[in-house]
Chain A
Amino acid sequence: MRRIVITGIGIITPLGVGRESVWAGLAGGRSGISHIDCFDTSNLKTTVAGLCRDFTPEQFFDEREMSRLDRVSQLALAATEMARREAKLSDDELNSYDFGVIMGTGFGGQNSVEEFVGAYYSNGKGRRSAIVIPKSMYNAASSNIAIRYKTRGPNITISTACSSGANAIGNAFHLIRYGHAERMIAGGAEAPVTPLVMDAWKDMRVLSTKNEPAERACKPFSANRDGFVLSEGAGVVVLETLESALERGAHIYAEILGYGSTSDAAHITFPDPEGEAQAINRALKDARIGPEEVDHINAHGTATKLNDASETEAIKRVFGSRAYEIPINSIKSMIGHSMGAAGAIEFIAAVLAIEKKLVPPTINYEEADPQCDLDYVTEGPRRMDRGRPIRTAISNSFGFGGNNAVLVAREYSEQ
């Protein structure tokens, strides 16, 4: 069986741009949530979101390029550029039929859609455009990556709501493992903080309305949690065979060991702990490890009433009494829920936790909930370098539609 490793990381979140600044924020327990100031929120109940304020597209693109790229593609391409630089991939290495791309997104080029919708309903006054379709189509991000870097292998977009990014990385991993590609760019990107999307979520009543202070809005696993906080961002990893990484002398962040994917096949939004538990089980089986080997869980942890209780139950079904001993965190408490990017960003956070031997905290935990009684690392960042050092972590992603995806990462070791 081929071994697949992570050799490049590109990440953009409300906590910063790039692996180091994002990690500094996560490890420091900082919140990236702030008040929305890019459009009028006076009709909304939720006025906070996770905006990537440090992301300056001008650093990555000229004006002409920006006009052709929806924000979601800008985030995806910028994250890819960081990942490929870290992985030290040359243009020649990228330009290959053995190099592919899989990206996840839940909303695609939503900003471009909304601009066009505005023009459409403006009785001819709005600005029409011939490039709305190529900017807004869901596969724009992955296709723009392939076009820019000349990766000629598989180019696939996955849209499974909140688990898109995790399914993207999992499928990319399997494409390499089973010989369909040698190297993959994989991850997720999302730019959903728009007037229409915020308004539509409002009617679903799943967003937190704890607007003051913004930094404390998202309270995963806390009894007084009242919903998730929408955010934007991108996470991209470079995956390649161990052989290829060693041959190139690339830095290996961790090994990707397993991927499990299931469908609740139940309700379009109501989560089912059994579907989630089976996704974890299948990921562990794919990784050929037992539940006793898992040292850390990066939870989906959205801070909705339903998700956090259901996920806690799923973890108990898989890990039994050991569930209480595993440090579990939700970094959504700090960066919000970036939908199709979240699974990729959280997988990267789990990989960095393994590398740094430190589990970032779940912040904003205030009240115990009897339905959520596991160890959510609420006291602050936790060092895990002695006793039982963190070697193996899983990252859970559970999407609307009942789409569950779980990834397993392990510290790289030679045998």
Chain B
Amino acid sequence: MTRQAVESIEDVVKNIIVAELRVDRERLAPSTHLMKDLGADSLDALNIALRLEEAFKIKIPDEAIPRFLTIENIVQGVNEHLASN
């Protein structure tokens, strides 16, 4: 995985979060937590998972969703799913 690709995954993840939660992009740091920092609830998390599945053509299993809650965890999770596909 090149540096370029990692950055673009992070960009896509941030775009999705900005669009779903209507938050300013500047608020998104690697450790930013969707629920604790951005006020998301479980329904938001599900919608973000749907958008990630569409954007990266991956399937996120139910049990993985609780790990998809910080920017860095989401990027890492997407990478893992892409690698395993």
List chain A positions with a Cβ less than 8 A from chain B: 62-64, 67-68, 127-131, 134
Contacts and interface: CB of A to CB of B under 8 A. Distances in A.
A67 B22 contact: yes
Nearest to B47: A130
Contact of B43 (A62, A127, A128, A130): A130
B21 interface: yes
Interface residues of B, number: 9
The 8 closest A-B pairs by CB, nearest first: A130-B46, A63-B22, A64-B22, A130-B47, A131-B43, A128-B50, A130-B43, A130-B50
Interface in B45-64: 46-47, 49-50, 54
B21 to A, nearest CB: 7
Contacts of B50: 128-130
Interface of B: 20-22, 43, 46-47, 49-50, 54
Nearest to B20: A67
- Most central of A63, A67, A130 by chain B CB within 10 Å: A130
B47 A131 contact: yes
A127 B49 CA distance: 13
Nearest to B45: A130
Contacts of B54: 127-128
Nearest to B48: A130
Contacts of A63: 22
A305 B4 CA distance: 69
21 contacts: A62-B22, A63-B22, A64-B21, A64-B22, A67-B20, A67-B22, A68-B43, A127-B54, A128-B50, A128-B54, A129-B47, A129-B50, A130-B43, A130-B46, A130-B47, A130-B49, A130-B50, A131-B43, A131-B46, A131-B47, A134-B43
B73 to A, nearest CB: 19
Nearest to A129: B47
A148 to B, nearest CB: 15
B20 to A, nearest CB: 8
Nearest to A66: B22
Contacts of B47: 129-131
A137 to B, nearest CB: 13
Contacts of B21: 64
A401 to B, nearest CB: 33
A129 B15 CA distance: 17
Contacts of B20: 67
Nearest to A65: B22
A93 to B, nearest CB: 27
A389 B20 CA distance: 56
- Most central of A62, A63, A67, A68 by chain B CB within 10 Å: A67
Contacts of A64: 21-22
Contacts of A127: 54
A131 B20 CA distance: 12
B53 to A, nearest CB: 9
A133 to B, nearest CB: 10
A366 B31 CA distance: 69
B57 to A, nearest CB: 10
Contacts of B22: 62-64, 67
A68 B43 CA distance: 10
Contacts of A130: 43, 46-47, 49-50
Contacts of A67: 20, 22
